[in-house]
A and B are shown apart, each in its own frame.
Chain A
Amino acid sequence: MSATPTPRPTPRPAIGPPEAQSDDAYERELVARIRAGRQEAWGELLERYQDRLYTICFRMVHHRELAADLTQDAMIKIMQGLESYDGRAKLSTWIIRITMNVCLSRLRAEKIRRHASLDASESRDGYFDPGGGRPAGRRREREHFPGTSVEHSDLRATLARALECLGPDQRAILILRDVRGLDYEQIAEVLGLAGGTVKSRLFRARAALRDAMETLGRSDGHQGDERTR
């Protein structure tokens, strides 16, 4: 069997994730100010994180309103728990862990509810959801990617849909790694896993995402064939 030239894997960009670029010292100062009773620092902190947290929530639930609710829930928990933040983990890791836990709790609860009562409307809208992670009764939202070509936009839309098809845990690990750019150690901290487990789960999540992409691609192609017929 002849060796086919393979594109060289592109090393991960040298720039770190958004969190890594954040000014840790500034965030430590924010925490200190909050603890000193200067509550306006809360506003700074939450404003600084709101897009990141909302993105995590949206990627997890793929529903704008629910994502906003979950983001707010996470913020409340952050506000309630900051006193207990001991500084061992980076603040961003701690905040993301809370947010991810809020999302996972919600998705697991939805899954339990959905299993408890078979939701006929789910099958009616024909939405593909092998992971069972989509909140019951919620309409999938189309995501728009301004400034990208149609092809890229379609690819990303398919990717976002594929992500939605995964189970919550697999979705979480991909979001943490690829969307948020956390390193293995941080992911382990956020999800409460051992480092080795993170790696194996990440690999399986990637494989599951690829499966979902292929399934969606076939499904879209089939629908396209039907339309052209």
Chain B
Amino acid sequence: MDRNPTNPTPLDEATLLAFIEGELSPEDTRWVERILAEDPAQRARLLAMRDDAGSLRALGDIPAPAGLLAGLADAIERQMLLGGVEANQDRAETRYETPTAPGRQLDVRPLRFQMAVRIALAACLVLTVGIGAWLAGMTTAQRRLATHGVERRLPGTSEPDIAFTPSEHALTTEDFARVPGPAVERAVEGDDISEPPYVATELAGTVSETMNAERAAELLAQGRLVLRVRTGRPTAFRDWLGRVDRHSTALRLAGDGGDSLAMHLVTTLHRPMSPHPAPGHFPVASDRVHEDRVPTPLELNPIRFDPHIVYVHLAANGETLAGAVRAMTATAGWTVEFVEVDAPMPLPEVTPDASELLWWLRPPSEWTPRKVLPLLIEPAW
């Protein structure tokens, strides 16, 4: 630094900044002060800047609002609704080999998916809903199916034959209207039909249900409930399951006990959060749906369960279960019915998994119970 008083070097920004920050040596400070003294206005301004810094420092921390952390789970849900929480899922890329013609949708699956439709004849998925610790120790007994659902026609083939009659606490269409669900629109040429709205486009579902929602919840708690899905497009259904994280979060409902998620697949969420899958499960990659494999295959007369499971948060009460059913039918358009099993099924125990993004921030007492709900997928053609 040139300190020749007869030929002072103009102060550069770095020196002025160091002066403001008090980082100059006493000798350099005096030199800067001498230069600044020649311009009192500039000097006053620099000293004020230094005071500003001190005052800013003194502003201190502002306490975060109460409930900020508790509301984080809600924020996560909100971002998921907006597509902001991107799951680090290892999605296999699906390429469609032919462009979609206007007005024609979704019939352009790759060959492997066409094959999968056939294979899906005997396939079922197991939805995991609820904590399910109480499922431990349940024994296999007679597993006779008793259908409590009703047959419904595939969407678009006729008028809806049975209307869903919600109980007092059950969902209504308004419940779904309140929350942003996936837009249903027709794909046109050039659209990326792998996006969720188009997956559900072609099927405009009907909703019907004869089993009382409370009864369904009771059976669910006992491990005696199976959800049967009949669809002309089993592959599309699997595809929908693989994407259901966004769909399902649209089913966030206000209930008496506060908000609850009617249905929420966490297959895309729990892995990034925890490298350690829940005990007894290990991740298996598949084309579109990421599932965990249950070591013990389930058998449900006369159908052998393909031992895939996906995790779904489902509140134990009946209305949210009904919401899940309704989501599958109203949103995705598949025919869904409850099936009662005579004896509890040996469903896998699903312990509370703190790694699941939505719930760990809340005390365990507030975690949504998870139960295991087998899901049969039956082609209907």
User: CB within 8 Å of B: which residues of A?
Assistant: 1-4, 6-12, 18, 35, 37, 39-40, 42-43, 46-47, 50-55, 58-59, 64, 68-69, 71-73, 75-76, 79-80, 83, 155-156, 159-160, 163, 174-175, 177-179, 181, 196, 199-200, 202-204, 206-207, 209-210, 213
Contacts and interface: CB of A to CB of B under 8 A. Distances in A.
Contact of A54 (B14, B62, B71, B79): B62
Given A9-B20, A76-B75, A206 B53 contact: yes
A68 B94 CA distance: 38
Contacts of B75: 69, 72-73, 75-76
Contacts of A35: 275
A184 to B, nearest CB: 10
Contacts of A50: 64, 68-69
B55 A7 contact: no
| Chain B interface bracket (under 10, 10 to 19, 20 to 34, 35 or more) | 35 or more
Interface in B150-181: none
A203 B13 contact: yes
A163 B237 CA distance: 53
Given A40-B360, A206-B17, A209-B49, 18 more contacts: A11-B22, A37-B274, A37-B275, A39-B274, A64-B65, A72-B71, A72-B72, A80-B272, A155-B55, A156-B58, A177-B53, A179-B57, A179-B59, A202-B17, A204-B13, A206-B20, A210-B48, A213-B52
B37 A1 contact: yes
Given A42-B360, A206-B49, A9 B62 contact: no
B40 interface: yes
A159 B34 CA distance: 29
Nearest to B357: A79
A29 B148 CA distance: 53
Nearest to B361: A43
Given A4-B43, A178-B56, A9 B19 contact: yes
Contacts of B79: 73, 76
Interface of B: 13-14, 16-17, 19-24, 26, 29, 33-34, 36-38, 40, 43, 45, 47-50, 52-65, 68-69, 71-72, 75-76, 79, 84-86, 88, 272-276, 354-355, 357, 360-361
A146 to B, nearest CB: 11
A5 to B, nearest CB: 9
B40 A4 contact: yes
Which 10 pairs of residues, A with B, have the shortest CB-CB distance?
A178-B56, A54-B64, A72-B75, A3-B37, A6-B33, A39-B354, A9-B22, A50-B64, A37-B276, A11-B22
Name which of A10, A179, A206 has the most chain B CB atoms within 10 A of its CB. Answer: A206
A9 B29 contact: yes
17 contacts: A1-B38, A2-B37, A6-B37, A35-B275, A40-B354, A46-B69, A64-B65, A73-B75, A76-B72, A80-B88, A160-B59, A203-B16, A206-B20, A209-B52, A210-B45, A213-B48, A213-B52
Name which of A7, A59, A76, A196 has the most chain B CB atoms within 10 A of its CB. Answer: A76
A7 B32 CA distance: 12
Contact of B355 (A39, A58, A59, A181): A39
B6 to A, nearest CB: 14
Contacts of A39: 273-274, 354-355, 360
Nearest to B63: A51
Contacts of A53: 64
Contacts of A75: 69, 72, 75
A54 B361 CA distance: 18
Nearest to B45: A210
Contacts of B49: 206-207, 209-210
Contacts of A72: 68, 71-72, 75
Contacts of A83: 272
B67 to A, nearest CB: 9
Name which of A1, A9, A159 has the most chain B CB atoms within 10 A of its CB. Answer: A9
